[in-house]
């Protein structure tokens, strides 16, 4: 599909995520991080957000997931046409929002299986679906885990405790595929991973690409986008989207770096 054709189609395609003039600041000290973000992700598309360190990428991810360390001072986030700003993180998750963390948390004393089950049954309950029985659940998780190369033994261990960087990221993708969100936000999923781990994680993510799902892939480097090829690339700097383009924009950035945008922002 050529760019021109897509441009036309965009207007008519159903918009899943719409971020309008979003301003956010750190609740504790009032530092403004997001300074008017406008972004539209239509159904079925994968958009990449690239930007220098400190540009507000992770803040955007957290704000989408509903972290209360940030205050929204202006603007709105619409998910399937509905504002999610007033929703708690768990309500957003039930609505289909999923954030794969840059630094996944360790939960000692809670087996990965137990955690996954609590999460899945919570969202299923809120989505009006029946909770899964133990055999149904085990079958589902084992199948998805096998696809991602997650060993059974790992599922018995406390969540993320003693996992390597790659294992933690794989676990995030496993959670994502089990919870079947409709908006996947991946925050620096490639950071700290070697090429093999990036490939596994990317393949797992690519499997989730589909016509009913939107994805935001946040990354500093272009390399992840070789595996998860985006429909669009947005450059975020100084709390605003500075430029939007096709996947070739990522390659340009790889060559020229973010210097131009940082200069512009300053």
- What is the binding site for another protein (CB under 8 A)? 65-69, 88-90, 92-94, 98-99, 101, 104-105, 107-110, 115, 118-120, 122-123, 126, 158, 175, 179
For the CB of residue 228, give the shortest distance to another protein in the complex, in Å. 21
Residue 107 burial by CB count (10 A; 0-12/13-18/19+): exposed, middle or buried? middle
Query: Nearer to another protein by C-beta: 94 or 233?
Result: 94
Which one, 66 or 230, has the nearer CB to another protein?
66
Between 179 and 265, CB nearer to another protein:
179
State how far the alpha carbon of 119 is from the alpha carbons of 33, 90, 102, 132, 256, in Å. 30, 9, 19, 11, 42
Q: How far apart are CB 266 and another protein at their closest, in Å? A: 31
Degrees, nearest 5: CA angle 247-250-255? 140
State the DSSP string of the chain.
Answer: --HHHHHHHHHHSPEEEEEEEEEEEETTT--EEEEEEEEEEETT-EEEEE--TTSSHHHHHHHHHT-TTEEEEEEEEEETTEE-TTS-HHHHHHHTEEEE-SSPPPEEEEEHHHHHHHHHHHHHHHTTPPPPPHHHHHHHHHHHHHHTT--HHHHHSEETTT--HHHHHHHHHHHHHHH--SEEEEESTTTT--HHHHHHHHHHHHHH--TT-EEEEEESSSTHHHHS--SEEEEEETTEEEEEE-THHHHHHHHH-SHHHHHHH-
CB of 219 to another protein, least distance (A): 19
Least Cβ distance, residue 245 to another protein (angstroms): 30
Nearer to another protein, 67 or 243 (CB): 67
To another protein, the closest distance from the beta carbon of 38 in angstroms equals 24
CB of 112 to another protein, least distance (A): 12
Nearest-approach distance from CB 50 to another protein, in angstroms: 23
Nearer to another protein, 3 or 118 (CB): 118
Complex with another protein: residue 102 or 242, whichever CB lies closer:
102
Smaller CB separation from another protein, 110 or 251:
110
């Amino acid at each position: 599909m050529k760019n021109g054709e897509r441009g036309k189609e965009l207007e008519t395609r159903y918009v899943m995520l719409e971020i309008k003039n979003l301003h956010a600041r750190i609740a504790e000290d009032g530092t403004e991080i997001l300074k008017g973000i406008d972004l539209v992700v239509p159904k079925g598309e994968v958009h990449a957000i690239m930007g220098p360190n400190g540009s507000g990428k992770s803040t955007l991810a957290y704000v989408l997931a509903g972290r209360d360390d940030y205050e929204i001072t202006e603007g709105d986030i619409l998910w399937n046409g509905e504002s999610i700003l007033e929703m708690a993180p768990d309500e957003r998750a039930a609505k289909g929002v999923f954030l794969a963390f840059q630094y996944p948390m360790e939960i000692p004393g809670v087996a990965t299986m137990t955690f996954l089950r609590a999460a899945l049954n919570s969202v299923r309950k809120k989505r009006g679906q029946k909770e899964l029985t133990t055999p149904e659940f085990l079958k589902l998780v084992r199948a998805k885990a096998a696809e991602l190369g997650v060993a059974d033994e790992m599922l018995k261990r406390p969540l993320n405790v003693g996992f390597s960087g790659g294992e933690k990221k794989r676990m995030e993708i496993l959670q994502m595929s089990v919870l079947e969100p409709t908006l996947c936000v991946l925050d620096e999923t490639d950071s700290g991973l070697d090429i093999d781990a990036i490939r596994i994680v990317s393949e797992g993510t690519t499997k989730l690409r589909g016509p009913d799902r939107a994805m935001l892939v946040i990354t500093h480097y272009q390399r992840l986008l070789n595996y998860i090829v985006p429909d669009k690339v947005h450059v975020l700097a100084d709390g605003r989207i500075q430029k939007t383009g096709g996947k070739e924009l990522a390659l340009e950035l790889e060559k020229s770096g973010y210097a131009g945008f940082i200069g512009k922002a300053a």
